[in-house]
Structure formats: structure tokens, C-alpha cells
Amino acid sequence: MTQGVRAQQREQTRQALVREGRRLFSTVGYGAVGLSEIVRAAGVTKGALYHHFSGKADLFRAVLEQVQQEVAERIAETADAREDTWDQLVSGCQAFLSVSTDPAIQRTMLVDGPAVLGWSEWRAMNETTSGRHLAQVLGELIAEGTIAPQPVEPLTHLLSGAMNEAVLWLAASTNPRDLDDTQDALVAMLEALRVK
């Protein structure tokens, strides 16, 4: 068997573990899933799992990275469709709310993520994806004078925290208007930052 074939098989095994881990973590939650269930669903052995990951938390980290990257890409795609930097901020923030109302994303990214990995690691991972995009657009808006001069980092964390809290609140909501109302409130909050 050639090295290329072995590498391909290893990657297929890793992808199967991440895919099935993601499916199980998002449907029943990290705490309710055992390694035996994951390897059975992926059609591999525990030894294969341990070849790729140090354990369940390490597999979850890979799943969370994938979810955060996909969310960041969807937000960036929505924001980048706009020419104006302000419109990019608003549409990107609204996209985050919309995308994150998916229960599977909420559970993995906002509920289990901080609980499993701890706030420091979760926050660091978030900062390299969606947080990086938010900080970048805020920095551009400050540089162009649309937002008053201020440190970007605290503003990024405040907005990110508000949006994460809103998404968790929306997860428990039964009113179909709540997403629209939350997006309207977010736009009003963002408008307060704008230099008049």
C-alpha cells in the first residue's frame, strides 16, 4: 500500500470521526455522547479515534473549529456582498444572529463549546474566526470616522457578547417574531455607535 493511499485512508477516517462526532454532539450534546457511540457511527475502532485525537474533548475541539469556521464563512460571505463598510458590519452581525439560531450550531458553538473547552480556549477560538472579522470591520469603521475613535478590542467583545447572549435567548424563544425584533434591536444598538 502506498503512502498516498494510507494518507487518504487516514484523512477519510478523521473526516468520518468529525462528521459523526458533529452529528452526535449537535443532536444530543457533548455530555450525552460516549466514545463507543462515536466510533460505532463512524465505522472505526477506538484505536483509530485515538490515532487522530487524544480523546473526546479533542474530537469536540475539531468539530467546534469546523462549526466556527463555517459560521465565519457564512457571515463573511453575507458581509462581503456589501460595498459599504457600515453595511458590511450590519449585514454580518445580522447574519450571525440568523445562522446561530440553528439549534445544532447553538449547542455546539455556544453551549457545549465554552463548557467543554473552558472560556479562555473557546474565546481564543472565536477570536480567530468570527471575532477576527468583527474586529477588522470595526477597525475600518473607526479609521474612516464612521465610528468614534476608541479601542477596537473592548468594542468587539461587547458586541460579540451581546450577540451570543441574544442567540442563546432566541434558542429558548417560542415567538417567531423574536429573531426579527432582535435584529432590529441590534441595528438600533449599532446605529448608536455611528458618528452623526
Rg (CA), the chain: 19
The x, y and z cell numbers of residue 173, run together, are 424563544
Q: What is the DSSP letter of 55?
A: S
Task: Give the pLDDT score at 59.
Answer: 98
User: Where residue 16 falls among pLDDT bands split at 50, 70, 90?
Assistant: very high
| Distance, CA of 182 to CA of 180 (rounded, Å) | 5
Per-residue confidence (pLDDT) for residue 1, from 0 to 100: 55
- Confirm if 144 and 74 have CB atoms less than 8 A apart: no
Q: Helix or strand or coil: residue 194?
A: strand
Three-state DSSP at 147 gives strand
Q: What is the pLDDT of residues 172-194, one digit of tens each?
A: 889 989 999 999 999 999 999 99
* 63 — pLDDT class (breaks 50, 70, 90): very high
Beta bridge partners of 147: 194
* pLDDT tens-digit series, residues 123-142: 888 888 888 889 999 999 99
Q: What pLDDT digit, counting tens, does each position of 64-115 carry? A: 999 999 999 999 999 999 999 999 999 999 999 999 888 889 899 988 999 9
Cα–Cα distance list, 104 to 36, 38, 130 (Å) = 21, 17, 17
